[in-house]
Structures are given as structure tokens and as C-alpha cells.
Amino acid sequence: MSRLWELTAVLSVSTNLAITSYILYNLWKTRWQCEESDEPEARVLMFPDGGYQCNYWTAGHCHFENCTLLHHKTNKTRLKELLEGAVKSINVCMFVLSCAVLLDALIEAHRKGVTVRIVCDNMKISGSAYKITEAGLDVRVDNSPSMMHHKFMIIDKEILLTGSYNWTASGAAYNRENVFITDEKYVLDQFISEFEKLWVTFEGSSEIRYEAITSCDVIRNRFVHRSNNKS
């Protein structure tokens, strides 16, 4: 009886060790595969955000009690955060550039030492966009009869953002737009190649015809906050 009990105990311990080893091996294998996986990451930002975001709230605090602008994170905010996360370079190829929040993020990145290059369509850069050249950012424009209709951005040559969205405040607030984000190397390389080709093509072409308007998000913020202040 004693011998049978000892044999049972040994078998039980051996079985438990085998099961434990199998579980640990599979956990290790799963983690290794995740770490070594070449599968690209991808996500999508969908617009509209549902309204204009309060610039005061974005900057840290809105002191207007009756402010009707958005006081929460939006997809435009998420784009801004991606710009703020750039370490080495930001290459922007954009048909329309007028959103003050995103332009300010580009300027701040430039001030931190990030190389910022912009290719845009000559007739579609307006409003507060004059700040990007005043701040010393490299801008090249398509002065040809055709349109530079691309809408994409490359961060650190590692992240691509592309889609239908132009950098306008009203587009983010009300238009049905999309931004696709990926680090898939093959796709990324195609856009890097296109940007470099356009950068060379438009060399020496930096004259921008500014439209005499102010960015829509700035107008909306001023109007709403003045109205709230009077009330």
C-alpha cells in the first residue's frame, strides 16, 4: 500500500511538472512571436469630431462657464499628439493647410529640432498658414496648373498618415473624413519616395499666395468666447 502511494505521488508530481512546463513554453513562444512579428500596425481616425474643439481647453484650461465648444479629446487632438511625438522628421504633403492647431504643432516640432518639410498646393494654403514660413519651416509649393492633391504625412520615416482629410478646422469638425495610420514598410516606402520626388520637383518654388482670411477654428473660438463672456 505504501509503495502504491509513493508511485502515485511520483506520477502526480511528474504530471504537474509536465503540464507546468508546457504552459510556460507556450507563454514564452507566444511572447516571442509577438515581439518578433513583422505584422504592421494600423489604425483609422474617422471624422467628423462633431464640432469645434475649444482652443483654451486644448491649451490646458477653459475659464468660460458657458463655453459650447468641445471639451474632450478628439481625432484632431490625436493628430496633434502624433505630431508632438515626432523625434527626427515630419514630412507633410497636403492639399489644404489652414488648421491653426496642427500648424502650431508643426512649428513647435520645428522649434524642438525636428526637421519639418511641407509640400502644398499654391492656391490652397491659407489663413494662419503664413506662420509656417515665418517660423522658418521648409515649404515648397506646386505652382503648376494642375493640383497637388495629396493628403499624407510621414513621421520619422516610420509612421504614415493618409486619407481624405485636409488640414482644416471645419473638415475635422463637420466633414465625413478619414485618416489611415500604418507603419507597413512597403506602403511607407512608396509614400516616402513620392514625397522626395515632389520635394525635388518643386525645388525653388516657395512663393505662397496667402488668402486674407483667418483660420476657421480661431474665428469660431473667438466668437463663442466673446458671446459667453458677454452673457
Catalytic residues: 149, 151, 156
CA distances 215 to 48, 57, 79, 222, Å, are: 18, 18, 17, 11
Name beta bridge partners: 119: 93, 140
How far apart are the C-alpha atoms of 163 and 167, rounded to whole Å?
11
How far apart are the C-alpha atoms of 219 and 227, rounded to whole Å?
12
Nearest residue to 181 (alpha-carbon basis) of 200, 213, 153, 150: 153
List alpha helices for 37-140, DSSP H: 55-59, 75-84, 100-111, 130-134
CA distances 152 to 57, 94, 160, 164, 179, Å, are: 27, 6, 7, 9, 9
Give the pairing type, strands 89-94 and 115-121.
parallel
Q: What cell does 4 get?
A: 502504491
User: Please, how many CA atoms are within 13 Å of residue 96, restricted to the half-sphere of its CB?
Assistant: 16
DSSP 123: G
Q: One-letter amino acid identity for 134?
A: E
